[in-house]
């Protein structure tokens, strides 16, 4: 019996208030055993940390992002990996997400609508609970989400890492130039002091 419970899944329905009733919007898969999903599990290297810092500063979707506006109920089962990235575990065959044709199983949820207006908030690494809360409190009948495939995540992460490396190298070059100028100024100052000292005799 213990082995059965260790791998059991508890399906929790998240409900969203509407004008007349409560309609199920998302299903969160809460496992009792550690996740075995590897589609979005990524090691946190220096480049990943650069990417996460950049992503969390974003307040709107980019021109190349897969921004999808979905009516409730969304028709998704969401889960999270070991790093707090929320991904699509299941797309309900006849749900609104499936009808959009823009959401695939394994896609990472990278951004979510703010409570009001068009502003978006980063969902990277924040965990399933916070993402579900953001979706739940969204005002209106629709929610906008940005989805990213694992391959897109790797490409974007590599580009951000490249930009971060270039910025670091530029800062290092600028610092080296400042250090060189400072040494030249110090050398000139020493020469001037020597000249004044010799001038006393």
- pLDDT (tens digit, 9 = 90+) per residue, 60-89? 888 889 999 999 999 999 999 998 999 999
Higher-confidence position of 169 and 81: 81
Q: What average pLDDT does range 170-190 have in this prediction?
A: 86
Give the C-alpha separation, 89 to 71, whole Å: 19
pTM over 0.85: no
Query: Do residues 53 and 6 make contact, with C-beta atoms less than 8 angstroms apart?
Result: no
Q: Identify the CATH homologous superfamily for domain 2-151.
A: PDZ domain (2.30.42.10)
């Amino acid at each position: 019996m213990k082995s059965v419970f260790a791998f059991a899944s508890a399906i929790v329905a998240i409900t969203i208030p509407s004008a007349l009733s409560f309609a199920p919007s998302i299903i969160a898969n809460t496992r009792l055993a550690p996740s075995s999903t590897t589609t979005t599990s990524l090691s946190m290297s220096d480049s990943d940390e650069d990417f996460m810092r950049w992503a969390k500063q974003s307040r709107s979707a980019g021109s190349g992002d897969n921004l999808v506006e979905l009516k409730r109920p969304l028709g998704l089962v969401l889960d999270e990996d070991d790093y707090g990235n929320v991904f699509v575990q299941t797309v309900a065959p006849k749900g609104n997400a499936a009808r959009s044709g823009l959401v695939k199983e394994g896609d990472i949820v990278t951004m979510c609508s703010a409570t009001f207006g068009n502003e978006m908030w980063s969902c990277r690494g924040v965990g399933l609970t916070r993402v579900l809360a953001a979706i739940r409190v969204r005002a209106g009948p629709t929610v906008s989400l940005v989805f990213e495939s694992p391959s897109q995540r790797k490409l974007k992460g590599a580009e951000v890492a490249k930009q971060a490396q270039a910025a670091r190298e530029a800062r290092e070059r600028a610092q080296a130039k400042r250090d060189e100028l400072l040494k030249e100024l110090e050398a000139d100052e020493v020469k001037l002091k020597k000249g004044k000292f010799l001038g006393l005799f």
